[in-house]
């Protein structure tokens, strides 16, 4: 499944927004622009996977203030901070606040695109991981209580006979439960079962 990503641009200077929109479009990237931080917040429910190009110095609400609000709302999106040379200390604070990267204005187009792609590639992998975790959790819900017990024994490295003895069931019953749970989890090997168990436990 392809994950469509968008470059979100938040800058109070219209020429900068236009330049960034044209730059991303020329590279085949989808983008959306916002004239200030509040405009971005107003559309937060419509913001999907991608990265945020954020100007740190804006009137009314600065980039740092927006970043703080996003953090407080547990809204996770990679941020590339746009800053003038005199605002490097502000960019450093933004990085400490969770920003992925920063670049100075006037920016070099090729360098900015390189950093955007780095950001998007990392976000794409994160989204894939989230999707995989959700799928694993859904598959786990289809297991019966006994299948979960057999799975736990498998993850602990027990052989079928050891699982049978621990659960007071027959060796053949363990084999049947093992075959059933691997089918439900779409697992081709023991390592797949272990990985799913770890992913789901880490989200618990």
pLDDT in tens, 93-105: 888 788 888 888 8
**Mean of the pLDDT values across residues 183-204?**
81
pLDDT in tens, 112-162: 999 899 888 877 777 777 788 888 889 999 999 999 999 999 988 899 999
Nearest of 170, 184, 104, 172 to residue 136 by alpha carbon: 184
Q: What CATH architecture does domain 6-132 belong to?
A: 3-Layer(aba) Sandwich (3.40)
pLDDT in tens, 51-75: 999 998 898 899 999 999 999 998 9
pLDDT in tens, 30-55: 999 999 999 999 999 999 989 999 99
Q: Domains of the chain: which residue ranges?
A: 6-132, 142-203
Supply 36's token pair: 């200030």
Q: Please check whether residue 79 is in contact with residue 51, taking contact to mean a CB–CB distance below 8 angstroms.
A: yes
CA distances to 4, 80, 112, 120, 124 from 117, in Å: 13, 11, 9, 5, 10
pLDDT at 2: 42
**Mean of the pLDDT values across residues 71-98?**
83
What CATH code would you report for 142-203?
A: 1.10.10.10
Q: Please check whether residue 99 is in contact with residue 76, taking contact to mean a CB–CB distance below 8 angstroms.
A: no
CA distances to 140, 144, 157, 194, 195 from 136, in Å: 6, 15, 20, 11, 9
């Amino acid at each position: 499944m392809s994950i469509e990503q968008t470059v979100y641009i938040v800058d109070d200077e219209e020429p900068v927004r236009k330049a960034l929109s044209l730059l991303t479009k020329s590279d085949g990237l989808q983008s959306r622009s916002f004239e200030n931080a509040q405009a971005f917040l107003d559309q937060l429910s419509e913001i999907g996977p991608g990265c945020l190009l954020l100007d740190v110095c804006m009137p009314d609400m600065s980039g740092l203030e927006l970043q703080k609000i996003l953090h407080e709302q547990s809204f996770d999106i990679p941020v590339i901070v746009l800053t003038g040379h005199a605002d490097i200390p502000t960019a450093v604070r933004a990085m400490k606040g969770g920003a992925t990267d920063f670049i100075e204005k006037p920016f070099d187009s090729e360098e900015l695109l390189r950093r955007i792609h780095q950001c998007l590639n990392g976000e794409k992998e994160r989204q894939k991981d989230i999707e995989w975790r959700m799928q694993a959790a859904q598959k786990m819900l289809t297991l019966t209580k006994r299948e979960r017990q057999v799975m736990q024994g498998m993850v602990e490295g027990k052989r079928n006979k050891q699982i049978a003895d621990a659960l007071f069931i027959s060796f053949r019953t363990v084999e049947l439960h093992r075959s059933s749970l691997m089918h439900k989890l779409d697992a081709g090997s023991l390592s797949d079962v272990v990985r799913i168990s770890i992913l789901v436990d880490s989200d618990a």
